[in-house]
Copies of this chain bind each other. A is one copy, B any other.
């Protein structure tokens, strides 16, 4: 098929390359024309503007936006007047699904079809394929099957599921029409919420292993600190790169995220290249909002989000309140600074 790609960041550029390998034709645009030029060597047609992009695509056009969620609406506002009835606009970024529902209605008024696609895979997606969670009208989604089929990992990417016999389903290919407008980003949102939780579970566990030698440190004795009762239980110097490699085989917690972790620890066993300030990108937050709207308890997913906030110092004032209270009732003074280390 022919497809126009708007946005050539890490994700967009790799997706175009994967589409080219699958013999699709791509016209590409990015505000940064350098990115467009860099791609043209790969056999794509570059566009100098949104209007140019639209002009270079056959009708009904298929346009894929791969942009930061914060700029999708302004791009849509510029793009929509350039389009014709029957064209399809796909938002493959990390939009909030509320926006999908609104945008789909707005574009429908112009007879333009809107499809939301939650895209997982990251920088490995070019090789590994992208897991695509799709929302929109059934017919529109079906028309885009060749695109989705090329982008997704394909059936061989995982062992077949015993007992599964659903010939019509595309889930085994790695893409799925999840429901009406917004359903794709809704499922991707929760996917990312789960991702935060899983990442946090590994991180907490590895932190425990990392400090299995605390019994070797001599403790201080004062009224505010309880000494370690059994230092003899914490005398282990554990080799995290080896342990994470070990867990990749046969353990209940083997996963792709574990593979990445083992790889990172292999290169940098103490993770000295990182300061531990962890960003969060929206989906983790929206997941909690949805959970609360639905009355679904999500202590794990929330804890994972808050750990990221705290890693960036956002608990600071709350911590000061605690210190002030302790001073108030017990006359406790804060202890000297212990630098944030590993």
**Considering the complex of A and B, which 5 residue pairs feature the smallest CB-CB distances, nearest first?**
A197-B201, A226-B282, A276-B319, A255-B255, A260-B328
Contact present for A193 and B208 (CB under 8 Å): yes
Contact present for B320 and A242 (CB under 8 Å): no
A92 within 8 A of B: no
Copies of this protein, total: 4
Contact present for A249 and B153 (CB under 8 Å): yes
Closest Cβ of chain B to A95, distance in Å, is: 10
A23 within 8 A of B: no
A341 within 8 A of B: yes
Q: In the assembly, what is the distance between CA of A229 and CA of B236, in Å?
A: 23
Number of A positions contacting B (CB below 8 A): 183
A86 within 8 A of B: no
Can you list 21 residue pairs at the A/B interface with Cβ under 8 Å?
A9-B223, A130-B250, A131-B250, A131-B254, A171-B243, A178-B238, A190-B205, A194-B201, A207-B298, A208-B290, A214-B294, A224-B279, A228-B293, A276-B319, A277-B335, A279-B332, A297-B309, A299-B303, A300-B304, A303-B303, A307-B315
* A235 surroundings in chain B (CB, below 8 A): 180
Partner of A259 from B69, B159, B186, B339 at Cβ < 8 Å: B159
Contact present for B202 and A194 (CB under 8 Å): yes
Contact present for B68 and A221 (CB under 8 Å): yes
Q: Which of A121, A234, A273, A291 has the most CB of B within 10 A?
A: A291
